[in-house]
Amino acid sequence: MSQPTDDLIARLTGNLAPVKRLTPPLWRAAGLAALATLFLTLLVAVRGLRPDIAIKIADPSFLTAVGAAWLTGVTATMAALEISLPDRSQTWIWLPAPAALLWVWGVGWGCLAHWVTILEARPVEESSVRCLTTLVAGSIPLALVLWKSLGRAKPLRRSATAWLAAVAVAAFADAAHLLCHVVEATVFVLLMNLGVAAVSIIVLGGIGGRVLPRAG
């Protein structure tokens, strides 16, 4: 063995401190999903349910959109925690894809099915700021908790981990948003739900990869 490598090993192994092993990722994902659900429930309670919730609850596309958004959040959290570990399969990145497709389909189908009633509805400007604040208030604390948890693994695949975490945050926040706000114009529905989610993903995913601690 060459001298510098010997020296390095001596340096790394001298006065070695014990380390706390990471809890298996699926346990951590379950904890984070529970925390996110609790937080979003509180957010919805503070903001109040949308006024037409009684009608919406009978609409399959609405239920699909909310359920799929939440499921996208859960599966993206699981995938991000798995991918953050060195030896886990790259195929974990596809875990949130089915739920994400269902989420996009639910929001899009809702717009299409109610095209006529949406066109006759009231102007949307009055609620747009509240919508955005709900999304931001939902996203930032979730992002901080998730990044803190992911950072403990010092992921080697930092970009993939950050992008999945960004998808999780955007999906959870949109689930709360769908329950709180009535957004009445088709384009605006897409913009508020999927557009803001896309912006969140791009911003959080782009910045997040740099923010996560680097190993080595």
Partner 1 sequence: MTARESDWSALMCRAQDGDGAAYAALLGEVVPWLRALAWKAGTQPDDIEDAVQDILLTLHDVRHTFDPARPFAPWLQAIARHRLIDRLRRQGRRQAREIPIEEEHETFPAPETNSHEVAGDARRLQAAVAALPEGQRQAVELLRMKELSLKEAAARSGQSETALKVALHRAIKRLRSLLDGR
Least separation, in Å, of the C-beta of 6 and partner 1? 9
Among 72, 54, 64, 73, residue whose Cα is nearest residue 182? 54
Residue with smaller CB distance to partner 1, 14 or 115: 14
Binding track over 83-102 against partner 1, x by CB under 8 A: --xxx---------------
Among 194, 201, 196, residue whose Cα is nearest residue 111? 194
Hunting for tokens 């959080």 — which residue is that?
A: 204
From 1, 54, 58, 116, residue interacting with partner 1 (rule: CB under 8 A):
1
Q: Are 155 and 161 in contact (CB under 8 A)?
A: yes
By the 10 Å C-beta count (0-12 exposed, 13-18 middle, 19+ buried), 63 is classed as middle
If one asks whether residue 54 binds partner 1 (CB under 8 A), the answer comes out as no
Using CA atoms, how far residue 32 sits from 130, 152, 165, 182, 216, in Å, is 26, 14, 11, 28, 27
From 47, 56, 157, 177, residue interacting with partner 1 (rule: CB under 8 A):
157
How many residues of this chain bind partner 1 (CB under 8 A)? 29
Binding region for partner 1 (CB under 8 A) out of 1-9, 41-49, 114-122, 142-150:
1-9
Least separation, in Å, of the C-beta of 144 and partner 1? 21
Least separation, in Å, of the C-beta of 157 and partner 1? 7
Q: Are 162 and 81 in contact (CB under 8 A)?
A: no
If one asks whether residue 58 binds partner 1 (CB under 8 A), the answer comes out as no
For residue 130, what are the contacts with CB-CB under 8 A and spacing of at least 6? 47, 181
If one asks whether residue 154 binds partner 1 (CB under 8 A), the answer comes out as yes
Binding track over 6-45 against partner 1, x by CB under 8 A: --xxx-xxxxxxxxxxx-x---------------------
Describe the crossing of helices 25-47 and 125-151 by its angle, rounded to 10 degrees: 160
Residue with smaller CB distance to partner 1, 87 or 125: 87
Binding region for partner 1 (CB under 8 A) out of 56-64, 151-159, 184-192, 201-209:
151-159
Pairwise CA distance, residues 64 & 215, whole Å? 40
If one asks whether residue 153 binds partner 1 (CB under 8 A), the answer comes out as yes
Residues that bind partner 1 (CB under 8 A): 1-2, 4-5, 8-10, 12-22, 24, 85-87, 152-154, 156-157, 215-216
